[in-house]
Amino acid sequence: MRIALVGNQNSGKTTLFNLLTGTNQKIGNWPGVTIERKLGVIRGTDFEIVDLPGVYSLSPYSIEEELSRNFLFEENVDLILNIVDSTSMERSLYLTTQLLELGIPMIIALNMSDIADKRGIHIDLKTLEERLDTTIVSISALKKTNVFNLIQYIKRGDYRKNYYHHIYDHELEDAIVLLKNSTKSQHPKFLAIKLIEEDPTFLQYHNDETKKIVDDLSKRYLRDMEQVVADERYRYIENIRDEAVTARHDQMTWTDRLDDVFLHRFFAIPIFMVIMFGIYYLAAGPVGGFTVQLVGRYMAIFSNWTRELLVDFGASSWSVSLVVDGMIAGVGAIMNFLPQLIILFLLISLLETTGYMSRIAFFLDRIFQKVGLSGKSLIPFIIGSGCSVPAIMSARTINDETEKRMTIMLTPFIPCSAKLPIITLFAGYFFKGNAGLVSASLYFFAIAIIFLSAFIMKKFWFKGKHSSFILELPDYKIPNVKFVVFDVFEKVKAFIQQAGSIILLASIAVWFLISFSWSLHYGINPELSILSSLGKVLAWIFYPMLGTSSWGAAVSAVQGLVAKEQIIASMAIIAGYSDTTSEGVLIFGSSIFGFFTPASAYAFMVFNLFSAPCFGAIGAMHKELGTTKKMWQAVLFQTGLAWILAVLVYQIGHIIEVIL
């Protein structure tokens, strides 16, 4: 049996899905967390369950909603599990009535019953069940109440087989019957209504007969049929609501009180800036910096210990070097930053689950609107401070094509967690007392550049047209500790896996290239290595932003394409080679990277921040932008802009340095 889990956005589908299947899919408190369908099996059964992206109606407005409708209409679904948000019954039932028209058996899970209770919303289950002729189970997915009962209902199959009720007036209902007889479909009633609404995606199902029926109908109504259907549907729901739902009105909720502060006319934006600054300051500033040094010390001890151990075993000098100067130096340089990333992941996860993120989108929309972006672009930008790949994918919830494309192109500008090591390393060494400040400055620099590029793109590239912004403001929620911990754990795991696979392989490659010359001689001066000659080909590109020709910096920056943290791994290996100092973070003490000044350090950070993202993110851009051409445009735009900005930063910074 195949079950589809369908409901409004942010109604708790994924929370229920996790409970039913015992998995841990990502959840959050903002509309549109789930952007792809996810498969699972209900615990203790062999029923397949599909978690679909949230929809408000079966007339899709953005891509991920279209995915849900196509799935329901085209694939064979044996049972719909419709999750209804008890706190907004009318809007939820609007979807429910459409789902009923599909003619697929259905169970309703009335979610958030605990919150509805608290708000004084009383729902008469019996009446509701009778009116909709559907089995309804009242649950709380978050508190896990009654979920077992729900599984029992599904297992035993003793749910009401919903029969269609008359929702519309007689003329419409008659037309539906006529249309049903002159079309062929698995879901005749649903199709009939779509034909009446003249839904553009169903025009192919029209034939002469159906066209005539719809024409006659609209002549009688003299109104737009789409509107007639929506009106009638809501009227029907209002009747049900009057019978089955009682609610206390107009009360100050916790959410309102918090919004008085967080959405305050004067304080909202300062509060937001303090929060974002705080996140960066904590992660990349003193606290994060301290953890980096701490881990770095142990890494150095481990590195020396391994070297001695291998030498004692009588290992050959090149194999000791491969393990210690290649693998441990590269991967170790990355692992130093793990505690700091845990701090960052934790803070972002909290931001996502509390419901504050939708508020940021709400109050920044005005500014985003000015530069041609949507307030919804903010969600990818915030997720992007973790990783660009899911961030680029989350841009799907933006329905306007231009806004979406601009958002995808600009999301990689946000310093992702892999860029954080670069920032911390440079800022910590060259701006000792102000490392936190300098790290945060890069974040705000990124935001400024995003606005500026969006503004320019809108002016010259994508000619401005009006777009809309429709967003539901969810209630604030206290973060669920278990979900937050799990979310952080997943991200940390991904980071370690990356360090143990891609970074490890790349480090071995770098070790090989720096240890050997073109004639494959081992034990040469690194200046004569393959890596050095490759770097020298590229070094001129970086000359204007570094003030010197450095093959080491050039060849490391290019490796940012593999993964941004690989830049640090590569620099650590090269530094370790050019000097005898193998002690941890002494990259800038080595002769090869000794040339860095604060100006060139900041410029190099800027270049790596804005240039083409890693292959993973480029792949995500390719997928979401749709064409290879658009992907190349994005990559060239990013890298070109990065170069210009880095050169500007260095040249201006250099003048300041000379004067001081």
Residues near another protein, by CB under 8 A: 56-57, 59, 61, 87-91, 94, 226-227, 230-231, 234, 247, 259, 263-266, 268-269, 362-363, 365-367, 369, 375, 399, 466, 468-473
Least CB distance from residue 202 to another protein, whole Å? Answer: 13
Least CB distance from residue 50 to another protein, whole Å? Answer: 22
Going 403 to 95 to 184 to 2, the CA torsion angle's sign is positive
Least CB distance from residue 448 to another protein, whole Å? Answer: 17
User: Which position has the token pair 């996790």?
Assistant: 18
Least CB distance from residue 646 to another protein, whole Å? Answer: 32
Q: Rounded CA gap, 612 and 437, in Å?
A: 25
Least CB distance from residue 553 to another protein, whole Å? Answer: 42
For 438, counting Cβ atoms within 10 Å of its Cβ (0-12 exposed, 13-18 middle, 19+ buried), the class is buried
Residue (362 or 429) nearer to another protein, CB:
362
Confirm if 195 and 217 have CB atoms less than 8 A apart: no
Least CB distance from residue 166 to another protein, whole Å? Answer: 19
DSSP helix/strand/coil, 516: strand
Residue type, 514: I
Least CB distance from residue 410 to another protein, whole Å? Answer: 21
Residue (32 or 526) nearer to another protein, CB:
32
Least CB distance from residue 593 to another protein, whole Å? Answer: 45
Q: Rounded CA gap, 286 and 190, in Å?
A: 60
Going 508 to 514 to 517 to 518, the CA torsion angle's sign is positive
Residue (294 or 470) nearer to another protein, CB:
470
Residue (99 or 347) nearer to another protein, CB:
99
Residue (118 or 521) nearer to another protein, CB:
118
DSSP helix/strand/coil, 334: helix
Q: Which of these, 85, 62, 76, lies nearest to 6 by C-alpha position?
A: 85
Q: Which of these, 82, 103, 102, lies nearest to 91 by C-alpha position?
A: 82
Q: Rounded CA gap, 604 and 611, in Å?
A: 10
Q: Rounded CA gap, 630 and 500, in Å?
A: 32
Going 604 to 609 to 610 to 615, the CA torsion angle's sign is positive
Residue (468 or 628) nearer to another protein, CB:
468
CA-to-CA separations, 631 to 64, 546, 622, in angstroms, rounded? 21, 28, 5
Residue (364 or 562) nearer to another protein, CB:
364
Which pair of structure tokens corresponds to residue 453? 């590029």
Residue (43 or 366) nearer to another protein, CB:
366
Residue (107 or 268) nearer to another protein, CB:
268
Least CB distance from residue 389 to another protein, whole Å? Answer: 28
CA-to-CA separations, 236 to 94, 199, 442, 556, in angstroms, rounded? 9, 21, 54, 65
- Rg from Cα positions in the chain: 29
Which pair of structure tokens corresponds to residue 517? 């010359």
Confirm if 114 and 143 have CB atoms less than 8 A apart: yes
Least CB distance from residue 84 to another protein, whole Å? Answer: 13
Residue (354 or 399) nearer to another protein, CB:
399
Least CB distance from residue 270 to another protein, whole Å? Answer: 10
Pure H helices in 165-267:
170-181, 188-197, 208-221, 225-244, 254-262
Least CB distance from residue 103 to another protein, whole Å? Answer: 21
Residue type, 467: S
Q: Rounded CA gap, 392 and 621, in Å?
A: 7
Residue (234 or 431) nearer to another protein, CB:
234
Least CB distance from residue 33 to another protein, whole Å? Answer: 18
Helix/strand/coil (H, E, C) string of 40-54?
Answer: EECCCCCCEEEECCC
Confirm if 13 and 54 have CB atoms less than 8 A apart: yes
Q: Rounded CA gap, 399 and 307, in Å?
A: 56
Least CB distance from residue 476 to another protein, whole Å? Answer: 12
Residue (362 or 596) nearer to another protein, CB:
362
CA-to-CA separations, 244 to 54, 100, 116, 247, 395, in angstroms, rounded? 25, 18, 14, 10, 38
Residue (88 or 533) nearer to another protein, CB:
88
Which pair of structure tokens corresponds to residue 212? 């005539």
CA-to-CA separations, 624 to 143, 368, 384, 494, 637, in angstroms, rounded? 36, 21, 15, 22, 17
Least CB distance from residue 266 to another protein, whole Å? Answer: 7
Residue type, 638: Q
CA-to-CA separations, 336 to 281, 463, 614, in angstroms, rounded? 18, 46, 20
Q: Rounded CA gap, 653 and 109, in Å?
A: 61
2 bridge partner residues: 48
Which pair of structure tokens corresponds to residue 47? 């029923």
Residue (197 or 487) nearer to another protein, CB:
197
Least CB distance from residue 262 to another protein, whole Å? Answer: 10
Residue (119 or 654) nearer to another protein, CB:
119
Confirm if 525 and 544 have CB atoms less than 8 A apart: no
Residue (216 or 231) nearer to another protein, CB:
231
109 bridge partner residues: 83, 137
